[in-house]
Chains A and B, each alone.
Chain A
Amino acid sequence: MTPALKGFLLLATLKMLVVFTVLMVGVALLTLMERKVSAWMQNRRGPNRVGWAGLLQPAADGVKNILKEETIPAEASRTLFMLAPMMAFIPAMMLSAVIPWAAPLPVTFDFTLPMLGQFTHDGLLPFAVADLPIGFLFVLAISSLGVYGIALAGWSSNNKYSLLGGLRSSAQMISYEVAMGMSLIPVLLLSGNVSFGAIIAEQQTGLWFVLPLFLSFFVFLIAGLAETNRLPFDLPEAESELVAGYHSEYSAMKFSMFPIAEYANIVTVCAMIVTLFFGGWDIPFTRWDQTGGVLQTVLTGLVMFLKVLFWIFFVMWIRWSLPRFRYDQLMALGWKVMLPLALGYIVVTTLAVYGIEHGLGVEGVRLKMLLLFALNVVLAYGVFFGLDRGHIVVGSYRQDSTSLPEAPLEVTNP
């Protein structure tokens, strides 16, 4: 091994440990945040007994989960039952590896350790565990593996509630994955690269993609909520009908791995929203954050953190704002609204980008994106008008036309 490779591996391992630790602690704190936010929105206090303002509640929960009695149902398939939580946990934890959390930092060192030899590093250090040239595809690929854990957990428990929860969840996740994948094609049309670094750079020179690609963002946000099984799409664990869905039979640490995976997925989805549509670690209206340096890295990291935190809060906010879908509505929304919307939007964006570049001959990136933004305002108005009036989501409130009276009932005043 060359000294440069050893230096690279050393830094990669350090970054991995930091990101993993922050993610695990962050997930623990998110459970607290979820309960606190829920409490505020319902005008109560939330957990406030363990530690200062309930800050140690996640630690208490963790200890309790480790010490709880483990049960494996007698009829369950033991191997799959044990394997399922790990299969949900592992992809969820790997997803955040490719997200760039801050601006690259120039790092130069050269030192020699006894036994291990010389370590060197020279150049920009990307703040992602693995700065893959295909980061975008990695997220799409690994995020679809999460469905295995859930489907297996549901099936192996040999419980009817779990089975239904697992089935519903897998059908829901694969349905919305189609819309999710398609909603990201316009992002690639504008950036022309599948690495997160290039996508962020394109947003720095132009505009944040939420403006020129607003409908993509809209579809991605909804598909992201559905992929993470959050309300209003939490049918898999609809507690009023399925007890706890696919993890009804799980207890102790095997149970808590599902919530850990779920929260880690929420973090990743929010980080994806920020990276793809809100400029990643970009600080708006400034250029100096692109030059590289310790101050830039710290500040861009902070900005990224705040952006991600806002979207996590948004997800929790949605939870207490919208009621749960019915299952046929959920599938109708995914297949009959989101999929055609994403597909049509690809066509429109392609034509618009081609027309602006070749027809109008616009050169400036920013002007091009502003024109796309104007187009999006018009499109979004049309789409939301249609969605709001039920003109498009006809399939989602299945009315049996035969059972309706021919003429509206007339109310006569006495």
Chain B
Amino acid sequence: MLKAYVPILVLIAFVVLNAVGMMALSHVLSSYRQTPVKLAPYESGIPVLGDARERFSVKFYLVAMLFIIFDIETVFMIPWAVAVRQLSDRAGMLIIEMFAFILILAVGYVYIWKRGALEWD
């Protein structure tokens, strides 16, 4: 059973080697003629104003948190979907359980929608 995963390990090693090799090749072959202006951040040609290490909109954190909630929901659903098909004689009970779960999440979903977490201003 675990034998099927060995090619994945080989593939990881191969792909990492390729990535490093490509970057190293480019690093060795490229020419360098660098000036302070060339190494400054690109801002459409005008002198750089300030720094990019600023605080950014808290909205993005909110999206990440909502993502985790709903992605975990998906993670729960995947084994459930397989089980419903495979344990067909007990499917009714499984479906009721999952629908209760979905209902709770739907309430949460309506709540975050009404609280405006999905709005972008």
Contact = CB atoms under 8 A, between A and B. Distances in A.
Q: Do A and B come from one complex?
A: yes
Interface of A: 5, 8-9, 12-13, 15-16, 20, 65-75, 82, 85-86, 89-90, 93-94, 97, 129-133, 137-138, 157-163, 167, 170-171, 174-175, 177-178, 181-182, 185-186, 188-194, 243, 248-249, 252-254, 257, 327-328, 331-332, 335-336, 339-340, 343, 346-347, 350-351, 354, 357-358, 395
Contact of B30 (A69, A159, A182): A69
Main secondary structure of the interface of A (DSSP, over half): helix
Given A74-B36, A89-B19, A177-B67, A188 B78 contact: yes
A351 B91 CA distance: 11
Contacts of A90: 12, 15-16, 19
Contacts of B7: 9, 12-13, 15-16, 97, 129-130
Given A160-B43, A358-B92, A178 B81 contact: no
A368 B53 CA distance: 57
Interface of B: 1, 3-8, 10-12, 14-16, 18-20, 22-23, 25-27, 29-34, 36, 38-44, 51-53, 56-57, 59-60, 63-64, 66-67, 70-71, 73-75, 77-78, 81-82, 84-86, 88, 91-92, 95, 98-99, 102, 105-106, 109, 113, 118-121
A249 B63 contact: no
Contacts, number: 218
A56 B7 CA distance: 33
Contacts of A161: 42-43
A76 B102 CA distance: 45
Contacts of A350: 84, 95, 98-99
A160 B50 CA distance: 10
A4 to B, nearest CB: 10
29 contacts: A5-B3, A8-B3, A16-B7, A20-B14, A20-B15, A66-B22, A67-B26, A68-B26, A69-B30, A71-B38, A75-B41, A86-B20, A86-B23, A90-B15, A94-B15, A130-B6, A131-B4, A133-B1, A158-B41, A159-B43, A171-B64, A181-B71, A181-B74, A189-B81, A192-B86, A193-B82, A328-B120, A331-B63, A332-B120
Q: Lowest 5 A-B CB distances belong to which pairs? A: A192-B85, A253-B26, A328-B120, A188-B81, A181-B74
A192 B74 CA distance: 16
Given A163-B56, A178-B70, 17 more contacts: A12-B10, A16-B7, A65-B26, A67-B29, A70-B26, A70-B27, A86-B16, A90-B15, A94-B15, A130-B5, A130-B6, A131-B4, A159-B42, A177-B67, A193-B85, A350-B84, A350-B95
